[in-house]
A and B are shown apart, each in its own frame.
Chain A
Amino acid sequence: MWDALTEAIFGPKPIARLAIVRVLAPLAILGFMSHRIIHADDWLSDAGFRVPTEIWDWRQPLPIPGIAVWAAWTIAIAFLVSGLATAAGAFTRWSASVFTAIAIYVALADRLAAFTVSKLAPMIGLLLALTPSGAVLSIDAWRKRKQSKAPLPTRVSGGCVSFFQIFLPVFYVSSGIAKAKGAWWGDDWYVLWSHVHDSYQTHFSYWLAGVMPVWMWPVLQVTVLIYELGSPVWFGLKWTRTPALVYGLGMHLMIGLMFGPVIWFSVLMMALLVAAYAPMRWLERVPWIRAINAAPAASSAR
């Protein structure tokens, strides 16, 4: 039992899964940050509004004063470049490290502009820096192939991928508990309905609120709860994994369509879901990913 568990977590896994996180996650994070990056002076510098540093409580976990305008633009550009370099797999360990450091700084420097994506970005950047995420599908791999004809890896030590495979159910079940102990179970069957009326509203959610039968809102609410609370089971069992993946993608697609700026969180979660749990036979429909696993040693990389 113990051996099976350690093999499931630490046994080799397709490196394509890690490469997908490396390509898509920084782009989703940069998508979220894009509006902040183009207003770097308002975001980070003392030219924008700053909460006074004497406030140091749960609302401002670390009081960081504003910086000079030129420094704010430098950090914003470095953030953009390091994120793009990470996605492209260029000097991946360094670029992901810089990306991580800046993600930590910007999340703490401006609590007002920090959301879930801001909190997840350092964790994702750190993982990309500490794992061999740039070993394939990357500029690093291209440079390595130019220097030597040694084959590129097709698999990666399992913990690198297992982290994301464990992260998702932990995140979901934690979110599910918060919802169930909040108003989602029994207190108010129309939580979802209540959230489509404020400034997150999109044309789609406004249209949906007008045409969807009233009874559908509690149905959607309960299915989300079942999905989130049961996610360790759904993603743990082989035969429920793919349906759970499909439901998760659908749920995040709906969140992205219905709640305006939350779309970047949705894209990020969808990228992690696909990377962690999409069947390899699906992923191998993408020629670049098929090429990674074309090596003979990859036959067991499933």
Chain B
Amino acid sequence: MQARAQVRGDIATGPGPLWFRYLLVAIAVIYFWGLATESLHKLFGSPMPEHGKWLRPAIFFTQASSLFPEADVVAQEARLEAWVCADNAWKPLDPRPYFQIETDDKESRLQRLAYFYPRYPEDRVVMEALDDYIRDKHDTGVDDGVHGKIGGIRLYKWEQKIPAPGEPALHYVFDPFAAVPVHERKELYYTRMSRRKERCGTP
């Protein structure tokens, strides 16, 4: 490969000696293998092996091709509510000042947070971090549609049933204050009442 490049003057080559470029070819083959591995496990029904923690970052970059493999049954949207101390009630809270990237769609970091967490008992630490983050930032006076001191948060998913083919399509509009039917709510986390009372200073 290098010999040919040296002979043909109009050919640009990559850096380094021949062995280095063979090494790059080997890395490329490993990358392609990694890209296909997840699907091959699905194809042959074999379980994905558990990898050590330190291998996860490298594997993460190869897990890129399983795009939209399943049908959605419901359209999901994560919603936040704040416990307003003065009213002793939950009020819808606009998450956009807290999660500013792609605010109106499911690439919002809040939507992703509600997709990944909470799944396991140890995820409570993530929800409590969210609780602290929202309260701390709310106290700085951000415009989130909720006024006054808050004692905690409630995170839930709005699950709207997707219509059958041929029925009128759902028209998605992001509105964090729109009313959500009770039967379409799936609760993910709420600040315990004792904590809310403690923070609000109510008996």
Whether A and B are associated in the same complex: the answer reads yes
Q: Which residues of A contact B (CB under 8 A)?
A: 10, 12, 15, 35-36, 39, 42-43, 48-52, 54-56, 58-59, 61-62, 93, 104, 107-108, 110-113, 115-116, 119-120, 122-123, 130-132, 135, 151, 153-157, 159-160, 163, 166-167, 170-179, 181-184, 187-188, 190-191, 193-201, 206, 209-210, 214, 217, 260-261, 295, 297-298
List B contacts of A12 (CB < 8 A). Answer: 4-5, 8, 11
Alpha-carbon gap, A62 to B60, bound state (A) = 10
- Contact between chains at A197 and B99 (CB < 8 Å): no
Q: Which residues of B contact A (CB under 8 A)?
A: 1, 4-5, 8-15, 21, 24-25, 28, 31-32, 35-36, 38-40, 42-43, 53, 56-57, 59-73, 75-77, 98-102, 104-107, 109, 111-113, 116-117, 122-123, 125-126, 129-130, 133, 160, 162-163, 165-166, 168-172, 174
Known: A178-B69, A182-B69, A184-B69. A62 touches B36 (CB 8 A): no
Given the known interface contacts A116-B67, A119-B63, the answer about A197 and B12 at a Cβ–Cβ threshold of 8 Å is: no
Pick from B53, B60, B166, B168 the residue with the most CB of A within 10 Å.
B60
Besides A62-B60, A111-B116, A197-B162, 14 new A-B residue pairs in contact (Cβ under 8 A), listed by A number: A10-B1, A51-B126, A156-B12, A157-B13, A157-B14, A167-B32, A171-B65, A174-B40, A175-B65, A177-B39, A190-B165, A191-B70, A196-B169, A297-B8
Instruction: Please indicate the chain B residues that have their CB under 8 angstroms from the CB of A172 in the complex.
Output: 65
Asked if residues B162 and A194 are in contact (CB atoms below 8 Å), the reply is yes
Distance in angstroms between the alpha carbons of A184 and B70 in the assembled complex: 7
B169 adjacent to A197 (CB under 8 Å): yes
Which one, B1, B32, B36, B106, contacts A159 given CB within 8 A? Answer: B1
The 4 closest A-B pairs by CB, nearest first: A182-B69, A209-B169, A132-B12, A177-B39
Instruction: Find chain B residues with CB under 8 A from A111 CB.
Output: 112, 116
CB distance from B116 to the nearest CB of A (A): 5
Which A residues touch B43, using CB under 8 A? 177, 181
- Tell whether, in the assembled complex, residue B71 and residue A191 are in contact, meaning their CB atoms are under 8 Å apart: yes
Contact B77 A199 (CB under 8 A): yes
For residue A189, which residue of chain B has the nearest CB? B165
> What residues on B are CB-neighbors of A122 within 8 Å?
61
* Identity of the chain A residue whose Cβ is nearest the Cβ of B55 in the assembled complex: A61
Residues in B neighbouring A55, C-beta threshold 8 A: 122-123, 125-126
Contacts of A115 in B (CB 8 A): 107
Q: Are A181 and B13 in contact (CB under 8 A)?
A: no
Partner of A49, one of B59, B63, B129: B129
Cβ distance B48 to chain A, nearest Cβ, rounded Å: 9
A48 to B68, CA, bound (A): 29
| Min C-beta distance of B128 to chain A, whole Å | 9
A201: which of B57, B126, B172 is its contact (CB, 8 Å)? B172
- Given that A39-B101, A194-B72 are contacting pairs, would A178 and B38 also be in contact in the complex, using a CB cutoff of 8 Å? yes
Q: What residues of B have a CB within 8 angstroms of the CB of A10 in the complex?
A: 1
Name A62's contact: one of B24, B57, B117, B162 (CB within 8 Å).
Answer: B57
Residues in B neighbouring A130, C-beta threshold 8 A: 14-15, 24
B126: min CB distance to chain A, Å: 6
A151 to B10, CA, bound (A): 8
* CB atoms of B71 and A178 under 8 A apart: no
Given contacts A108-B60, A260-B105, contact A175 B66 (CB under 8 A): yes
Determine the distance from Cα of A159 to Cα of B1 in the docked complex, in whole angstroms: 9
Please tell me if the beta carbons of B35 and A113 are within 8 angstroms of each other in the complex: no
